[in-house]
Homo-oligomer: A and B are copies of this chain.
């Protein structure tokens, strides 16, 4: 039976205080042992935040025997480096044996990594890059509001990390959306790696929150467990529309005399001699050798959990097929599909699909969704870093979350935020409009030509690029009903539908989109053009010219880029001539993917790549395409040249 503090009390009982004191001693010992055994890690901050961690877990709703319980409160550790403190605390509360933690900490494959990861039972979110945790917590808190659930969210932060700009974005958002189910605890020890926070970068932490209408509570002695209990339990119960921050004045290295207020213990473990002294100060046995010997044995990985996302039950709704005469932009098809999904899944107070935009609702065509499901539409302002991370928090609650803005902001600006969502299997649907040279006159800063180049660096995300509004509809319904992080990109312009040779829409009601599957728009035996997205219509134009010139050319359209259809690429290579065409940086997109597939298969064929080979200009898309050899005429000329 683990400790459960009596939240109704006005103060901690002497029994409770004694339990906490015993727990603290064991945790301090384990923090110091684990880091010294591993030869690396962060003991200073772990000791600094330990008291607040222990009381928090004693107060909040959670159950170690059911770590995935829906009703649990969520703890997000924005300071992922205090993992020894977190693991020690979770062991006390019964999530796993301290033995596993001590023998496994910071060992390859052990399940107890240096920054907290959700493979550890009880950990909710992989963190490590400072500044992102609050946005995740805000996403969870707002998600609970959307779902009308009473769960609380607690976010532990450092004081050094308050310097990160993303934090004020999250602060503002929490204030705008009145997230009184959110409690932030700041470990205010005034030390960061290179000195005091005042020396490194002066700021007023409290005014950062108070000027944005948070309830700011300051604890002069953050190690006073009773004071923290009183403040925390009051914040936990309230429903006044204000998020709470508890600024807890603590001491780095608390409890070990020679570690207190020494910045180097942020990231340095004690040496063997100092461990002995520390154990004496704690009044416990020095077990270093015992555990060091146990670490030589194979690691017990039985405690490692494999993360499962929440079950999501989403109806795909009715496919919309635009007829061959329709001229439409993919953006509008996205907006229509999103509205249709909302109609099929969001009703009354039961919201299954959420949408986030950043001051671009009209441009990304979320207006219909907003009108239908105002409670699930989120306006995040010009705060893309926060919005992208928050999307991960929302999605992890089982809300299917669409995050939409221009490609340059949804991808290029938030690369590292999307990366953390990828770590966390967060299942965010990033749908970016205004991708590629198709953006036109707004020029190179707004032309996102790196979405494939960026998403390829993750391991758990897909990239789908619709070639017309019909394929857009299929893809949006597919991603809404299929778990996983995904990027869907589209241009800005209106276009004709891609059609079969008989003139009917190619992506009609009988079409079925599948990840990792390309589509042969045309068959031919002289050469194959592999393409996707906004330039496919130009490839179709080239095909017409080539047919007239007597060339039989195949067109392979890759709606799915990640994963890519390797079999289809190798089939394309059989004709001996392959050209890739894309509205993307020529070095980092489909062309290099295809090139690598060919090289690994040992295929020595005629192969070339067309793409964006310099920053785009500011002008009409057709002119920009022509200037980079991506218009129909240039594409046809390249094939003719390759065949000659």
Task: Pick from A112, A204, A595 the residue with the most CB of B within 10 Å.
Answer: A595
Chain B residues whose CB sits within 8 angstroms of the CB of A595 once the complex forms: 592, 595-600
With an 8 A cutoff between CB atoms, is A161 at the interface?
yes
Looking at A63-71, A88-96, A375-383, A536-544, the stretch in contact with chain B turns out to be: A375-383
- With contacts A359-B160, A444-B423, A445-B115 known, is A457 near B585, CB below 8 A? yes
- B413, A412: Cβ atoms under 8 Å? no
Chain B residues whose CB sits within 8 angstroms of the CB of A607 once the complex forms: 599-600, 602
- B165, A167: Cβ atoms under 8 Å? yes
With an 8 A cutoff between CB atoms, is A164 at the interface?
yes
Chain A 583-617, CB within 8 Å of chain B: the 1/0 string? 00101100111111111101111111100001101
- B415, A163: Cβ atoms under 8 Å? no
Q: In chain B, what residue has the closest Cβ to A107?
A: B619
Chain B residues whose CB sits within 8 angstroms of the CB of A415 once the complex forms: 412-413, 415-416, 454
Chain B residues whose CB sits within 8 angstroms of the CB of A188 once the complex forms: none
Task: Pick from A115, A163, A449, A598 the residue with the most CB of B within 10 Å.
Answer: A163
With an 8 A cutoff between CB atoms, is A362 at the interface?
yes
Chain B residues whose CB sits within 8 angstroms of the CB of A193 once the complex forms: 359-360, 362-363
- A164, B443: Cβ atoms under 8 Å? no
Chain B residues whose CB sits within 8 angstroms of the CB of A168 once the complex forms: 165, 168
Chain A 98-129, CB within 8 Å of chain B: the 1/0 string? 00000000111110111101000000001111
With an 8 A cutoff between CB atoms, is A465 at the interface?
no
- With contacts A163-B383, A618-B108 known, is A457 near B588, CB below 8 A? yes
A501 to B109, CA, bound (A): 37
A192 to B380, CA, bound (A): 13
Within 8 A of B (CB), among A411-461: 412-413, 415-416, 419-420, 423, 440-446, 449-450, 453-454, 456-457, 459
Q: In chain B, what residue has the closest Cβ to A385?
A: B165
* Choice from B128, B201, B357 contacting A383 with Cβ under 8 Å: B201
Looking at A171-179, A246-254, A478-486, A522-530, the stretch in contact with chain B turns out to be: A171-179
With an 8 A cutoff between CB atoms, is A624 at the interface?
yes
Chain A 553-589, CB within 8 Å of chain B: the 1/0 string? 0000000000000000000000000000000010110
- A381, B201: Cβ atoms under 8 Å? yes
A604 to B605, CA, bound (A): 8
Q: Output the least CB separation between A112 and chain B (Å).
A: 8
Chain B residues whose CB sits within 8 angstroms of the CB of A113 once the complex forms: 443-444, 617-618
- B600, A609: Cβ atoms under 8 Å? yes
With an 8 A cutoff between CB atoms, is A169 at the interface?
yes
- A361, B172: Cβ atoms under 8 Å? no
- B161, A382: Cβ atoms under 8 Å? yes
With an 8 A cutoff between CB atoms, is A27 at the interface?
no
A163 to B211, CA, bound (A): 14
Q: Output the least CB separation between A566 and chain B (Å).
A: 13
- With contacts A128-B443, A128-B445, A165-B386 known, is A203 near B108, CB below 8 A? no
With an 8 A cutoff between CB atoms, is A38 at the interface?
yes
Q: In chain B, what residue has the closest Cβ to A129?
A: B445
Chain B residues whose CB sits within 8 angstroms of the CB of A450 once the complex forms: 457
Chain B residues whose CB sits within 8 angstroms of the CB of A603 once the complex forms: 599, 604
With an 8 A cutoff between CB atoms, is A151 at the interface?
no
A446 to B419, CA, bound (A): 12
A and B contact pairs by CB, cutoff 8 A, 25 listed: A80-B445, A106-B619, A108-B617, A108-B618, A109-B617, A110-B618, A113-B444, A114-B441, A114-B443, A114-B618, A164-B169, A164-B383, A176-B201, A194-B359, A201-B383, A413-B415, A423-B615, A453-B454, A457-B585, A457-B587, A592-B595, A595-B599, A599-B603, A600-B607, A603-B604
Given A128-B442, A201-B383, 17 additional A-B pairs, CB 8 A: A106-B618, A114-B441, A129-B445, A163-B172, A164-B382, A165-B165, A165-B386, A172-B201, A176-B202, A194-B379, A201-B380, A415-B415, A459-B615, A587-B596, A595-B600, A600-B607, A602-B607
